[in-house]
Amino acid sequence: MAPTEGVERILRASAPHELVEKVREVLSGRHGATSVELLMADYALARLQPVSPGTADAAGPVPVHGSAPGRAFGAQEAHVAAQGDEVAVHLPVSVRGDRLGVLSAVFPADVYGSHLLGDLQETADALGHELTVAERDTDLFLCARRATRLTLAAEMQWQLLPGRSCSRPEYDLGGHLEPAYAIFGDSFDWSASADDLVLTVNNGMGEGIDAALLTHLAVSALRNARRAGLALADQAALADQALYGQHRGRQYLAMLLLRFCLRTGEVEVVDAGSPRIWRLRRGVVEEVELEAQLPLGMFEDTVYTSQRFRMLPGDRLFFVSDGVYDVVSPSGERYGLRALTRVFMETRLLPPSQVPQAVLRALAQHRGEIKASDDAMVVCLDWRGRESAETGAGTGAGTGAGGS
């Protein structure tokens, strides 16, 4: 039995709240670690928080930017730092591209060797998979992510999200919401099969619990329709009926609903409101022009039609809510296309998992001391496609309306 297989078996047999202690026992017993701690990324992705702050191993929270654990988290690769007679090893804890935190272990310098790094990273990977299962049965890891208390609306919204990043051979995805601890109605969702990626980006109306409930109903209706195998336009229609039946047009929700064909790069999209798409292709940023239809739930029995455009390998898409592009500076300048183009170009070398926060930091600088009056949401998608994808001239690259 390989050492990592033994770790996986130990973790699967452990109670959810014992996972960190079991990893600590394994790394100290097998590799001579003198301290081990798990740091979870907080909701704002600004700090790494210790899971067990009362233990001897645990230090306090550390910033994502400018710290050794933060380097491992940002780069998504192990960071090794010598500290006198000790060596600290910081290992990213992620699941299929979703960054959860960092496992940090300290070893005597005469015990640690680079040959250990593979086993240590595999242990961190095994821990990541067990964390996603453990969160069904314990609040320990969710509580560790909180730098401050979440509002009830934010609690509901974060529980609705599929994750904050995702990676497959055909694409990389990253999304983020601000203000992280007091969000209202903005949300995103994704689901992939062997052939397709379905992505929804929602811009809800209202504030607090009402906004969160509206978004929950819409996302649940869309998931129900998607899992029933309905066509994309019919998914939008079902969600529209659910919202109208509940609120009779008093509340509604703007949405983009997209299906990406992983083989060809063709995208089918239903545009039902205000979230917008920008594309970075070969160094040029342009808005993807779509024919906007009515938001979900505004009127009874709205008929939706889908439109199509095509992705090329190397394309990057940005999905942005009105809480970004409608924000004004203290001087009254709107955060429009010029500012968005600049920040999209400045972040072009960052992976999608890091782009949304970078855009939102630039937005905060633009807004200055003005308090945010709306959610701000950014989702970033890098497209690689498959080698068999049809690309180049004559493939219909670009935008245009089409039938469902």
> Can you give the residue range of the structural domain that contains 258?
152-401
In this structure, the answer to whether residues 129 and 191 fall within a common structural domain is no
CB 214 within 8 A of CB 251: yes
pLDDT digits (tens, 9 = 90+) for 304-357: 999 999 999 999 999 998 877 777 667 667 777 788 889 999 999 999 999 999
CA distance 268 to 280: 19
**162 and 76 together in one domain:** no
92 and 34 in one domain?
Answer: yes
Domain boundary among 112, 144, 176: 144
Q: Are residues 267 and 321 in the same domain?
A: yes
Q: How many domains does the chain have?
A: 2
Of 84, 118, 144, which residue sits at a domain end?
A: 144
CATH number of the domain residue 366 falls in: 3.60.40.10
Whether residue 97 sits in one domain with residue 42? yes
Stated pTM of the model: 0.88
Query: Rounded distance, CA 178 to CA 377, Å?
Result: 7
Model pLDDT, residue 403: 39
Pick from 374, 331, 329, 381: nearest CA to 351: 381
Same-domain pairing of 209 and 87:
no
Is the previous residue joined to 61 through a cis bond, with omega within 30 degrees of 0?
no
- Asked if residue 255 lies in contact with residue 296, where contact means CB atoms within 8 angstroms, the answer is yes
Mean pLDDT, the chain, integer: 89
Main-chain dihedrals φ then ψ at residue 339, nearest 5 degrees: -65, -40
Q: What is the CATH number of the domain that holds 71?
A: 3.30.450.40
- Do residues 303 and 329 both lie within one domain? yes
Residues 138 and 167 both lie in one domain:
no
Residues 68 and 171 in one domain: no
pLDDT at 374: 67
Q: Does residue 253 sit in the same domain as residue 320?
A: yes
Instruction: Please state the φ and ψ torsions of residue 344, each to the nearest 5 degrees.
Output: -65, -40
Q: Which residue has the tokens 């109670």?
A: 15
Q: Are residues 309 and 171 in the same domain?
A: yes
- Report the alpha-carbon distance of residue 357 to residue 175 in Å, rounded: 8
- Tell me the C-alpha to C-alpha distance, in Å, between residue 107 and each of 70, 121, 318: 19, 15, 42
- The verdict on 118 and 195 lying in the same domain is no
Q: How confident is the prediction along the chain (404 residues), in pLDDT tens digits per residue?
A: 455 558 999 999 999 999 999 999 999 999 999 999 999 999 999 999 999 755 555 568 999 999 999 999 999 999 999 988 999 999 999 999 999 999 999 999 999 999 999 999 999 999 999 999 999 999 999 999 999 999 999 999 999 999 999 999 999 999 999 988 988 889 999 999 999 999 999 988 888 899 999 999 999 999 999 999 999 999 999 999 999 999 999 999 999 999 999 999 999 999 998 788 999 999 999 999 999 999 999 999 999 999 999 999 999 999 998 877 777 667 667 777 788 889 999 999 999 999 999 999 888 887 665 555 568 899 999 999 997 544 443 333 343 433 33
pLDDT at 365: 80
Domain C-terminal end among 144, 167, 198: 144
